[in-house]
Amino acid sequence: MTEGSVVTEDMSEFLNPGPTVESADAEVVAFAQRVAGAEGTDLERAVRLYYVIRDEFRYDPYSSALDVEGLSATRTLQEKRGWCVSKAILLAACCRAIGIPARLGYADVRNHLSTEKMRQNMQTDIFYWHGYTAIHLDGAWVKATPAFNIELCEKFGLKPLEFDGIEDSIYHPHDQAGNRHMEYLNYRGEFAEPPIAEMLATFVREYPHWRNRRADAGADFDAEVARETAERP
């Protein structure tokens, strides 16, 4: 390296479409352009995308398919719901569709919020491979977590995750009442595409019910949330 040389990161991998991050798909492109708008900076356009994907796509942990079709941006766009991984993929696809580099980040978290059915199925409070989106804005990678829609936060008394394109938007350690909410245990890295084989191996090893996905057949997360929050004092 010669004195005064500048090292620049190659962004092409995080701008190009992939099997799940379908940033060249016509529906994804049209959606991204409509939501982001033509006016404003990349930061302002990314923030617009974040809030629409956070709030207009309902969080549903029972939609946690671990294959290309189930995780694809088009699938989430069509179904208007998804879990943390699939919603992060949709946000990444939309960012790339309008020329903003984006990649997929993963972490293991201890989640102190879940429904009784989820607790029975998972038999742990650790959520492995929690997904977020890392977006390159103004020369820096910024974390964005569009998982929990605003209605879910209000029902469970959570602090909504705001995103300004400058500070990382990651889960709060406590809820509105000061109870423990989310603890980050381990960051697994950031990728152009989800490492599906690694994720699946972890899920099969750590979650007793994962080999038999019929355990979640017909599960309605919205109904579970409504029932449990209605029982609170």
Angle at alpha carbon of residue 221, lines to 117 and 179, rounded to 5°:
70
CA distance 118 to 224: 10
Side by side, the strands of the sheet bearing 126-137 are: 140-144, 126-137, 102-111, 182-191
Residue 27 corresponds to which tokens in the numbers above?
């529906």
Is the pLDDT higher at 78 or at 230? Answer: 78
Q: Taking 50 as the threshold, does the pLDDT of residue 142 lie above it?
A: yes
Q: Taking 90 as the threshold, does the pLDDT of residue 228 lie above it?
A: no
33 three-state secondary structure: helix
> What's the fold here for domain 14-230?
C8orf32 fold (3.10.620)
Tell me if 187 sits within 8 A of 105, measured CB to CB.
yes
pLDDT for the residue numbered 220: 64
Confidence of residue 231 (pLDDT cuts 50, 70, 90): low
Q: How much of the chain, in percent, has pLDDT values that exceed 90?
A: 59
The string of pLDDT tens digits covering residues 85-129 is 999 999 999 999 999 999 999 999 987 666 666 666 667 788 999
CA distances from 130 to 135, 167, 173 (A): 17, 19, 15
What pTM value is reported for the model? 0.87
The string of pLDDT tens digits covering residues 89-99 is 999 999 999 99
Residue 98 corresponds to which tokens in the numbers above?
């309008």
pLDDT for the residue numbered 208: 77
Tell me if 135 sits within 8 A of 144, measured CB to CB.
yes
CA distance 34 to 38: 8
Q: What is the mean pLDDT of residues 79-83?
A: 94
Least confident span in 8-12, 39-43, 185-189: 8-12
Q: For the packed helices 26-36 and 42-56, what is the interaxial angle rounded to 10 degrees?
A: 110
The string of pLDDT tens digits covering residues 154-180 is 887 888 899 999 999 988 776 777 777
Helix locations, the chain, DSSP H: 26-36, 42-56, 68-71, 73-79, 84-97, 116-122, 150-156, 196-206, 221-230
Domain residues of the chain, as ranges?
A: 14-230
